[in-house]
Amino acid sequence: MQHIADAAAALASGHTTAAELVEAALDRIADPAGEGRRAFTAVHAEAARAQARAMDVLRQAGRAPSPWAGIPVTVKDLFDEQGHPTLAGSVVLKDAPPAAADAPAVARLRRAGFVVIGRTNMVEFAFSGLGVNPHYGTPKSPWDRATGRLPGGSSSGAAVAAADHMGFGGLGTDTGGSCRIPAALCGIVGYKPTARRVPLAGVLPLASSLDSVGPLARSVACCALLDAVISGVEDPEPLAPAAVTGLRLGLPRGTFLTDDMDATVSAAFSRALSRLAGAGAHIEMFDLPELAEIPEANRLGGFAASEAWAWHRGLIAERAEGYDPRILARIRRGERMSAADYIDLVNARARIIAAVAKRTAPFDAIVSPTCPVIPPAIAEVEEERDYNRINMLLLRNTSVANFLDRCSISLPIHRPGEAPVGLMLTGEHMADAALFRIAAAVEAALAEG
């Protein structure tokens, strides 16, 4: 079973049970030849088994809380789970008390009957797009594991777990691309919602101005369902794809979004655009000069550094030696930002958002590669200079939607056996429902090509 809908149908027909689904996921996590030990920071094996048995009993009695009751999912180590400490991929929080309650997003999954099978690994404090974690190990992208390639971050474990069938999807967070980058590098779907749609309560912050909570899974429909549940939609309806014919997809000309693509990404991106055009979509080049203003606005460190410094400064004063030095250096950039610098950034963001909205209004979505390169080898980022260079390259395209406070999704567009490549579609602020329909249409059109 690939998708949540497949599992729900099998549960409804009696062809499987929640206990069997959970046991299959636990077997994948425990496989010594797999990535489970690096993809998870904690596995709730016995609790998951008990919850699965409970869902099976409820289903037999006709009292299952939803069609998805008993389906295993994962939660990033950034979310509060009652009875578990929220470590955020760090060791400096190892003495933190267990959370007193679930984060609302987690509670909503449980209320629907999803079984949380474990906590997934991540970049320390979510502050990198690479997926590297020196404390708990770096899970490998599913592609070319003999070499060992970056999974993308910061929701690295969530992506690897979904790709390797250690659950049917997972909760991640996205501050600059942390759902979409690992999705692109692991060959799955990752979604960044308009930030205010999903509660951030109970989620350890990186930058509250940019943070959002989104799902990673193996299809657009899986992500749409998980997004509906965590955003509080009662009785989500099946996703109805838009029509590809007449779809207007904007491709910004002369911007960094299509710079520095390697040959594999360039070929896959061109092939995807050709297929969509052949299916009746209109791919239109247009000018978006305001994108060039975003790096300038962020030149002193942006919201991520300034807001991370505000949260971490007390902890750094006591336990700086326990941080990954590369993450610590990124956080410390915020120490140098003044209040005036921050206000300038807030004002620049508002101005750029307003200007971009006028230029993108004619389009159904903006299209670009998610990342300009295929998954780099883990060994390539051992040197700090290369770590920073590749990190900024992976974050470059995805971070635009966070700055603009928009919804955005990454879809896999590579051929079987090829290195994973993501296609990114970005919608308007609060146009999440429309973007999911567009993404489902694009997914189907590319599958038929």
Return the residue matching tokens 């109970």.
Answer: 202
Phi-psi sector, 169: left (phi>0), alpha (psi -120 to 50), beta? left
> pLDDT tens digits for 185-232?
999 999 999 999 999 999 999 999 999 999 999 999 999 999 999 999
> pLDDT tens digits for 140-183?
999 999 999 999 999 999 999 999 999 999 999 999 999 999 99
With DSSP H G I counted as helix, E B as strand and the rest as coil, what are the percentages for the chain, rounded to 5? 45, 15, 40
- Per-residue pLDDT at 252 exceeds 70: yes
What is the value of pTM for the model shown?
0.98
Enumerate the domain spans of the chain.
Answer: 1-288+359-449
Q: Is 66 a catalytic residue?
A: no
pLDDT of residue 32: 97
Over residues 68-73, the mean pLDDT reads 98
Over residues 104-120, the mean pLDDT reads 98
- Per-residue pLDDT at 1 exceeds 90: no
Q: Is 178 a catalytic residue?
A: yes
Give the model's confidence band at 254: pLDDT under 50 very low, under 70 low, under 90 confident, else very high: confident
CA distance 299 to 25: 44
Strand order in the sheet with 422-426: 40-43, 115-120, 72-76, 170-173, 213-217, 189-192, 408-412, 422-426, 365-369, 248-253, 282-287
Query: Closest by alpha carbon to 75, among 232, 176, 202?
Result: 202
Q: How many helices (H) and strands (E) does the chain have?
A: 15, 11
Q: Is 212 a catalytic residue?
A: no
Residue 42: enclosing H or E segment and its boundaries? strand 40-43
pLDDT of residue 413: 98
- Per-residue pLDDT at 448 exceeds 80: no
Catalytic residue, candidates 90, 178, 306, 408: 178
Over residues 407-427, the mean pLDDT reads 97
- Per-residue pLDDT at 317 exceeds 90: yes
pLDDT of residue 449: 59
Catalytic residue, candidates 76, 90, 192, 219: 76
Residue 68 Cα to chain centre, angstroms? 21
Catalytic residue, candidates 141, 154, 156, 408: 154
Fold of the domain built from segment(s) 1-288+359-449: Amidase signature (AS) enzymes (3.90.1300)
- Can you spell out the DSSP letters for 220-259? HHHHHHHHHHHTT-SSPPPP-PPPSTT-EEEEEETSGGGT
DSSP bridge partners of 249: 283, 365
> pLDDT tens digits for 273-296?
999 999 999 999 999 999 999 999
The angle formed by the CA atoms of residues 162, 164 and 165, to the nearest 5 degrees, is 65
Return the residue matching tokens 């690479």.
Answer: 130
- Per-residue pLDDT at 442 exceeds 70: yes
